[in-house]
Amino acid sequence: MLKKILGLLAALAMLAYLIFAIVQFSAVPGEQKCKEVVIQVMDSTDRVYVSTPEVRHLLQLNNLELIGQRLDKIRYKRVEFVVSVMRMVRRVECFSTNSGKVIVRVWQYSPVLRVMQEQGNFYIDATGQRLEISFNSAANVLVASGSIRDSVHIRRLYRMALLLRQDPFWDAQIVQIYVEPNGEWILVPRVGDYEIQFGLPNDVEDKLTRLKLFYQKALPKVGWEKYSSINVKYRKQIICTKKEE
């Protein structure tokens, strides 16, 4: 008898679930209202340039209060356009789900270099695209300054930025490249009161290999504070200049 009762209860529970599922998933989307807005920054695990609060604030400023709105009345393309004007936003998708959520997915640009010229400052992202700088889009990336005269200089600096970024050691160590009037580079490290005379941007990988070996083998023994400059301009050589006492 008990088994029959339990079986009947299980059958009734299954029937109730089926009725709920039919009503829930067969409802016309337009009859549902937005219960929640979910902002998803898809590529923010490494560096965050677009935050969820910023996106929400921007929607509010543009009178896009989505919660409580019927899903068929929401202007999804308007939401995408408003969010896409943020300087660090590369792509936006906005859509709704059967559960009444509105999803706003955001993909960021990924700056690798900040170029500082007399004409103005701008970022270069990982794909080589130029990005204008705004007060709320500060990115902790390699800085290039000095005599950056043309697109050739910028392309070389961009390639160097990519090379440094793909190596965790250099990504953490080098913070700035200064271009001298003769086209030679000076690298500025994050740690230590010295400069790296890099020379013209040729044989770049060889110079970095020699410099890393020096960092790993020699500097820990003599100390970061001993030198005023480290010169890797010349093949198979590293020339160090000691600070004056």
Dist CA 192 CA 85 (whole Å)? 40
Give the range among 8-22, 32-46, 146-160, 206-220 with minimum mean pLDDT: 8-22
Domains of the chain: 29-108 (3.10.20.310), 111-242 (3.40.50.11690)
In tens, the pLDDT along 141-156 reads 899 999 998 889 999 9
**243: which DSSP letter?**
P
Query: Is a pLDDT exceeding 50 seen at residue 103?
Result: yes
Reading the block at residue 161, the tokens are 């930025």
Q: What angle do CA 44, 50, 52 make, to 5 degrees?
A: 90
Closest Cα to residue 119, out of 142, 150, 141, 143? Answer: 150
* Strand ranges across the sheet with 227-231: 130-132, 120-125, 111-117, 142-146, 174-179, 185-189, 195-199, 227-231, 239-242
DSSP per-residue codes, 82-145: HHHTSTTEEEEEEEE-TTSEEEEEEEE--EEEEEEETTEEEEEETTS-EEE--TT-----EEEE
Query: Is a pLDDT exceeding 90 seen at residue 23?
Result: no
Share of the chain above pLDDT 90, in %: 51
To the question of pTM greater than 0.75 for the whole model, the response is no
Mean pLDDT of 169-179: 93
pLDDT attached to residue 12: 55
Range with top average pLDDT, 16-30, 49-63, 133-147: 49-63
Average per-residue pLDDT for the chain: 84
In tens, the pLDDT along 185-243 reads 999 998 878 899 999 999 999 999 999 988 888 777 777 677 788 999 988 888 888 87
